[in-house]
Chains A and B, each alone.
Chain A
Amino acid sequence: MALFDTPLLGDRRPHRLAGPHMLALAAVALGLVALVAMAGLRTEVVAAALFAGGAAAWAILSSARAALPTAPAAVEPAPGLGAAGVAALPLALPDPVMIVEGVEPDGAGDRRIIFANPPARALYRLGEPPSLLLTSIRDPEVLEAVDEALFGGTARTVLHLPGGVQDRAWRISARPLPPAGDAHRCLLHFRDETDSRRVERMRADFLANASHELRTPLASLGGFIETLKGPARDDPKAQDRFLDIMADQVSRMSRLVGDLMSLSRVELNEHIPPSGRVDLSLAVTDTLDAMTPIAREAEVRLSFTPLERGDAAVIGDRDEIIQVAQNLIHNAIKFTPAGGEVVIEARSGLTLAEACASAWPQASRMPLLTPDPDERVRYVRLTVRDHGPGIARENLPRLTERFYRVEGAKPGKAADPGGRAGSGLGLAIVKHIVNRHRGGLAVESVPGQGAVFAVYYPQATSA
C-alpha cells in the first residue's frame, strides 16, 4: 500500500490517492508506528519510546506531505497532539484494527494479536492481548494473507465472511509493519462491507420476488379490463362487481409492495443493533388496542396479562417490536376459528436455555432463529398461542421463507379478518426484525390444536 511504503522506504513518488483517505491512513500509520515503537521498547525508558514515536510520526507526516502536494491544510500536524495523542489514534478509529505478531514462518499456531482497538475487541470478544489469532479467525484466506504480510512483506486484501446469524462481510487488509526483534508484525484493518453486499443481493431478490408475485394479480386485472371494455361494456351490475374485485387486487398488490419494502428496510439494517429501550409489555398492550376491532370482527378473544412496569424492558426499536407483535397476533387471529381465543404471554429474566425451552411438551418444536450464545444476556419472551388448525411438522422449517403460505389461510375466507390476505412475508419480516434485535424465534405446534410462536429479545439491564 502506497502510504506504508512511502515513509518506510523513503519513496517520494506522488500518489494519486484521495485527500481525506490519505489523511485517515496517515493517522492510522502514525498511531501504529508509535505504538509498535512503544511496545518494542518496553524495557527502555518511556521517554525514549515517546521520542521514537514522535520521530516516526514526524517522518511519516513530512513524507506524507511531500507525497501529497495538493493536500488540504488539515494534513499539517497538529502541534499540540504529542506522542500520547498519536498513540491514542488507533484506539479512536471506528474500524476494527489489530496488530498481529509471528516468529515462526511455518507455525500458524504462534500468530498472536498483540494489539486490538475497541471495535476489534468487541467484534471478537477479545480479552487483554496478547491472544492467539487462530482463536479469533480461522478463515484460511485471511491466515494466508497474514502470513504473506508477516514473512513475505506483501500487502493483501481479502474478503472475510465469518458466517453466523448476522451474516457480516468484512474486507480485511493485511499490511506488513516493521519487525521488533525476531517478531514479524503486520497490521490488520477491517472494513465493513456488509451493507454493499446486502444492497446488491436485496436488489436482485426484490426484483425476482416482486415480479413473480405481482404477475398473478396483474394478469387478472388485465383480464377484467378486457372484459369491461368488451362483453361487459353495457352491464352496470357486472361492471360494479368487476371493479370491486379489481380494487381488491390493487390493494393486495399495494400491500405486497408495502411488505416487500418493509422487509427490505429491515434486512438492510439487520446487522445494526438497535439502541433504544422499549417496555415489551407496554408495546404489546398498545398493539392489542389497535388489534381489537379486527379481533372483534373475527369473533376472537385476545387475552394478555401485562408484566410489572419495567420488568419487560428490552433493547429495541419500538416500531419494529410493535410490528413483530402485530404480525404474530394478526396471524394468530387469522388462524383461530370464530369464538376461539388467542393467548399472549410475556416472561422476563430468562436465560437463553430457558427462553429456548419448550412450553408445550407434546408439540413438535422448531427454532426458526437462535441468537449467538452469550451467557451474560437475559431474555424477555413473548408467546402468542392460537387455537387454529396447527402446522404440520414438516412445514415448520419453511415458515419464515418468503411467500410461503401454510394451507388453511386462504385469502378471502372468513378466517381472514380485515380482508387482509397474507402476503406470505409476515413471518419473514418478524424473523429479520428479531435477528436485528439479537433475539430468537421458535414455533411449536400440535396439528388440530393450534400453534405457539415465541419471540425473545435481550433484556435491557436496569443500569
Chain B
Amino acid sequence: MNSHIVKAYDEELNHLTAEVARMGGLAEAQVSEAIASMARRDATLAQQVIDRDLKIDALHLDIEHKAIRLIALRQPMADDLRRTVAAIKIAQDLERVGDLARSVAKRGLGLIDGEPLTPLTRSIERMGKLVADRLKDVLDAYSAGHAERALQVWRSDEEIDEHYNALFRELLTYMMEDPRTIAACTHLLFMAKNLERIGDHATNIAEQVHYEVTGREPEGARPRTPAPAAPIDEPGRD
C-alpha cells in the first residue's frame, strides 16, 4: 500500500475501511440471524435482531461523520478520495441492509403464532442463505480490495432474482390452494422481497468496490431478470 507523509492520514483511512467492514459484519449477522429466527420460530432472537438495528444506524452516522471530517481536513485525492466516498456509499447500503433484515425479523414474529409452513420457510431459508453468502462475498472483496471478486458478485445477482421468482410462484400457488394461508404467505412474500433487495444492495456494494479499486464502473449492463410479472394467470382476467 502506498503511504503518505502524514502517518495519521493513513491511519484514518484504514480506520474508516475497518469501520465499514465492522458495520458489514453487523449487517451480515443481522441478515443470518433474522433468517434463523424465522426458521426456528425464535421470538427472542427476532427481538434481538430488531433491537440491534439501532447499533447499525449509529455506526452508519459515525462512518459518515468520520468520512466527511476526513474529506474536510485531508482533502483526499484519487484513490484516497474514491476510498472515502466508497465508504460513505457502502455504509449507506449496509444501513439499508440492516433495515431490511429488521423487517424480515419483524415479519417472522408475525408467523410464530400460525401453523408452520415448513416447505415455504425452507425455501425462504435457502434464499436467505444465498443472499447472506453474496453479502459475505462482497464484503470479503471489499476488505481484500479485490475488484474481480466483487465483479463475480455483481454478475450473480440474477441467481437471487431467479430464486425470488420461483418463491413468488410457489407462494401464489399456496395461497390459491388454501386461502387460510394468505396472511402467513403475505409475510413470507414480503420477506422474500426484502431478501431480494438485500441482494440488490450487495450488487450496489460490488459496484462501489469495483469503482474504489479500479476507478471505473463495471462494464456492461447490470444483469437483470424480468420481474415475475404474472407467473400465474390472474383469476378473473379471462
Contacts and interface: CB of A to CB of B under 8 A. Distances in A.
Interface of A: 107-110, 132, 134-141, 143, 161-165, 352-353, 366-367, 370, 372-373, 375, 393-398, 401
A373 B152 contact: yes
A135 B142 CA distance: 9
Contacts of B163: 397
A107 B17 CA distance: 12
A140 B231 contact: no
A138 B24 CA distance: 7
Given A107-B15, A163-B133, A138 B21 contact: yes
Given A396-B162, A397-B163, A161 B14 contact: no
Interface stretch (B25-33, B67-75, B174-182, B212-220): B25-33
Given A134-B21, A394-B169, A164 B162 contact: no
B156 A367 contact: yes
A395 B144 CA distance: 36
The range of chain B's interface size is: 20 to 34
29 contacts: A108-B18, A108-B22, A109-B14, A109-B17, A109-B22, A132-B18, A134-B21, A134-B143, A135-B144, A137-B25, A138-B21, A138-B24, A138-B25, A138-B143, A139-B25, A140-B25, A140-B26, A163-B132, A353-B152, A367-B156, A373-B148, A394-B165, A394-B166, A394-B169, A395-B166, A396-B162, A397-B159, A397-B163, A397-B166
Contact of B136 (A163, A367, A370): A163
CB-based closest 9 A-B pairs: A138-B25, A109-B18, A109-B15, A135-B143, A134-B18, A134-B21, A163-B136, A397-B166, A397-B162
Contacts of B19: 108-109
Contacts of B25: 134, 137-140, 143
Given A109-B14, A134-B21, A140-B22, A165 B159 contact: no
Contacts of B148: 373, 375
A377 B52 CA distance: 39
B124 interface: no
B26 to A, nearest CB: 5
Interface of B: 14-19, 21-22, 24-26, 28-29, 32, 126, 129, 132-133, 136-137, 139, 143-144, 148-149, 152, 156, 159, 162-163, 165-166, 169, 231
Given A138-B21, A367-B156, A394-B169, 11 more contacts: A108-B18, A132-B14, A135-B143, A136-B143, A138-B24, A138-B26, A140-B25, A366-B162, A394-B162, A394-B166, A401-B126
Contacts of B28: 138-139, 163
Nearest to A111: B18
B22 A138 contact: yes
A376 to B, nearest CB: 12
A135 B14 CA distance: 11
A367 B143 CA distance: 25
A143 B26 CA distance: 10
A393 B163 CA distance: 11
A45 to B, nearest CB: 29
A138 B18 CA distance: 9
Given A134-B21, A134-B22, A162 B136 contact: yes
A398 B21 contact: no
Contacts of A165: 133
A213 to B, nearest CB: 14
Contacts of A161: 32
Contacts of B32: 161, 163
Contacts of B17: 109
Nearest to A137: B25
Contact of B29 (A139, A394, A396, A397): A139
Nearest to A396: B162
B149 A398 contact: no
Contacts of B231: 394
Contacts of A393: 162
A164 B29 contact: no
A163 B202 CA distance: 15
B144 A367 contact: no
B166 A398 contact: yes
Nearest to B165: A394
A352 B156 CA distance: 13
A253 to B, nearest CB: 22
Nearest to A163: B136
Contacts of B166: 394-398
A393 B226 CA distance: 12
Contacts of B137: 164, 372-373
A320 B40 CA distance: 33
Contact of A140 (B29, B143, B159): B29
A162 B148 CA distance: 21
A255 to B, nearest CB: 23
Contacts of A108: 18-19, 22
B15 A141 contact: no
Contacts of A352: 152
B100 to A, nearest CB: 17
A226 to B, nearest CB: 31
